[in-house]
Amino acid sequence: DTGVSQNPRHKITKRGQNVTFRCDPISEHNRLYWYRQTLGQGPEFLTYFQNEAQLEKSRLLSDRFSAERPKGSFSTLEIQRTEQGDSAMYLCASSAAGGRPSYGYTFGSGTRLTVV
Amino acid sequence: DAKTTQPNSMESNEEEPVHLPCNHSTISGTDYIHWYRQLPSQGPEYVIHGLTSNVNNRMASLAIAEDRKSSTLILHRATLRDAAVYYCILKFGNEKLTFGTGTRLTIIP
């Protein structure tokens, strides 16, 4: 297993364009999380899935953001009509056993989005 | 949410032990203490976790105070590759991880 994979690693887009990021979690992990991180801050929670069900969404996830996890495998995060404030590192993580407290998360390397 | 308090930054000399403190005075009986670290331009990496007893693994040791209101992550022999931001996080049930700003560790050659 190669861990959590995120694509692309970097994305530069013009303001107003739509972007989509992909996350491939560790295959046996049933929980998948999305976080956003800006410079000098810790990662901020956006949303998570248990299998294919999206169980929680942060207030940070505006209507322009949508996430899916079809068939409980990979996940996509789409941002519509991007704004400069969306520039950040988008991190994906997965965990086993329904996210029990004794289980850690495995993070991907992230997708760095720059909106120009 | 139970909160943690960590120093913003610390420095340590290479090849010496490092003790990273974390205060969590409002911890509840079922909160696990998790530590993650984030190297530059990478996602966070799991380091260690514990509930009540001290824990050791290949990366580090976790010393938990008897009253559980504080803990210390111990790197036994720091290398330059240990320079990172270290996050101490309390995890309750199957709630998601909530990160603070962590401690930025600088290793001096």
- What are the tens digits of pLDDT across the range A11-68? 999 999 999 999 999 998 999 999 999 999 999 999 999 999 999 999 988 999 999 9
Task: Give CA–CA dist B67/B59, Å, rounded.
Answer: 25
Task: Give CA–CA dist A51/B45, Å, rounded.
Answer: 22
Does A48 contact B at CB distance below 8 Å? yes
| Nearest neighbour of A108 by CB, restricted to B43, B92, B97 | B43
| Nearest neighbour of B94 by CB, restricted to A92, A99, A107 | A99
Which residue from A55, A69, B41 is spatially nearest to A78, judged by alpha carbons? A69
Chain A residues in contact with B93 by the CB 8 A cut-off are: 100-101
| Nearest neighbour of B101 by CB, restricted to A33, A42, A108 | A42
Question: Other CB atoms closer than 10 Å to residue B83's CB: what's the count?
Answer: 18
- The two tokens of residue B58 are 């290949």
Strand partners, A11: A113
Residues 34-53 of B with CB under 8 A from A: 34, 36, 41-46, 49, 51
Does A102 contact B at CB distance below 8 Å? yes
Within chain B, strands assigned E span 9-13, 18-23, 32-38, 45-50, 55-56, 61-64, 70-75, 84-91, 103-108
Instruction: Measure A27 CA to nearest chain B CA, in Å.
Output: 18
CB contact under 8 A, A105 and B98: no
Instruction: Measure B21 CA to nearest chain A CA, in Å.
Output: 17
Residue position matching structure tokens 């700003």: B101
Per-residue pLDDT of chain B (109 residues; tens, 9 = 90+): 558 999 999 999 999 999 999 999 999 988 999 999 999 989 999 999 999 999 999 999 999 999 999 999 999 999 999 999 999 999 987 788 999 999 999 999 9
- The larger pLDDT score, comparing residue A11 to residue A1, is at A11
Question: Other CB atoms closer than 10 Å to residue A21's CB: what's the count?
Answer: 21
**Under a CB-based contact definition with an 8 Å cutoff, are residues A1 and A26 in contact?**
yes
- The two tokens of residue B86 are 């270290």
Assign residue A38 a region (left: φ > 0; alpha: ψ between -120 and 50; beta: otherwise). Answer: beta
**Under a CB-based contact definition with an 8 Å cutoff, are residues A107 and A4 in contact?**
yes
**Percentage of chain A surpassing pLDDT 70?**
97
